[in-house]
Amino acid sequence: MTGAVGELANREARPRAPEPSPLLWQEHLTAGEHWSGILRRGTSLQLVALEAGANVAALLYNFESPLERYNMADTLKAQHTAFLTRGCVCYSDMGRVLCSVTADSCGWHDTICGLSDAAQVERRFGRTRFQEQRNAWFHNGRDSMLGELGKYGLGKRDLVANINFFSRVTVNADGALAFHDGHCRAGDFVELRFEMHTLLVLATCPHPLDPTPRYQPRPVQLRAWRSGPAPQQDACRERCSENARGLRNTEMIF
């Protein structure tokens, strides 16, 4: 079963995210909350972990036609990887690229562990209600995502395998999962360049395998700027011939 693994000793203490300029907007995403927004083609978004141990669950849909959505399996098999980092792209189920991962200070983002749910959060951390806790009640990943999806007429049928930014879960030879405690440092950042008009849905609930005994979600800063879409010479496009074809498929509709 899941075990915490000691982490990477010789990384710098606090990475410093570049400051995009000029900013289109920025937003402070509170710990344990959910968020959604539209990121148009040519926009980039920086996610910065404001404290160590952050987790940002993410789902992506084509904003013009949400039946097209992030596809975990197509993303992994096209790039022969089980995780995301700089140079990777996030594929839709239509052979197109929703976004590219253009910068990453932590080196690994989980794609295979899904979301926490109400039963798990209650079992591990106890029952909370708004009535007593007000806005400090314990949110869970699945309900957060479903609530946010409902704002767009989406729901359970649209809840597919998500990304967990800032979390690292490895697999041993027998297939067993190991959550890497301490992987995300305060200041760690990841940058996404949107190649399509994308509905992005985020939740900052703790990773479902995070062994921290207390319910302790972490806040994240979002910063958006106009970067333009993938240029011809680009690390994500050149990572593998699959990504070149995926971006070509994407460019056909713009």
Partner 1 sequence: MRTESPSQGTSARAAGRADLDPQLLVLDEIVAAGEPWLGNVAQGQILRIVDLEGNQAVDTLFFNAQHTEERYSAVDTIRAQGNIYLTTGTVLRSSLGAAMLTIIEDTCGRHDTLGGACSAESNTVRYALEKRFMHSCRDNFLRALARHDQELSKRDLPSNINFFMNVPVTDAGGLEFADGISGPGRYVQLRAEMDVLVLISNCPQLNNPCNAYNPTPIQILIWAAG
Shortest Cβ 60–partner 1 spacing (Å) = 15
- Positions that interact with partner 1 (CB under 8 A): 1-2, 67, 71-74, 76-78, 80-83, 91, 93-96, 108, 112-115, 117, 119-120, 155-162, 170-177, 208-209, 242, 245-246, 248-249
Interatomic CA distance for residues 128 and 198, integer angstroms: 34
Secondary structure class of 76 (helix, strand, coil): helix
CB neighbours (10 Å) of residue 62?
Answer: 20
Shortest Cβ 157–partner 1 spacing (Å) = 5
Interatomic CA distance for residues 224 and 191, integer angstroms: 9
**Between 38 and 171, CB nearer to partner 1:** 171
Residue appearing with tokens 């359970």: 156
**Between 120 and 212, CB nearer to partner 1:** 120
**Between 12 and 174, CB nearer to partner 1:** 174
Shortest Cβ 65–partner 1 spacing (Å) = 11
Shortest Cβ 249–partner 1 spacing (Å) = 6
**Between 97 and 192, CB nearer to partner 1:** 97
CB neighbours (10 Å) of residue 242?
Answer: 16
Q: What is the DSSP string of 212-227?
A: -SS-----EEEEEEE-
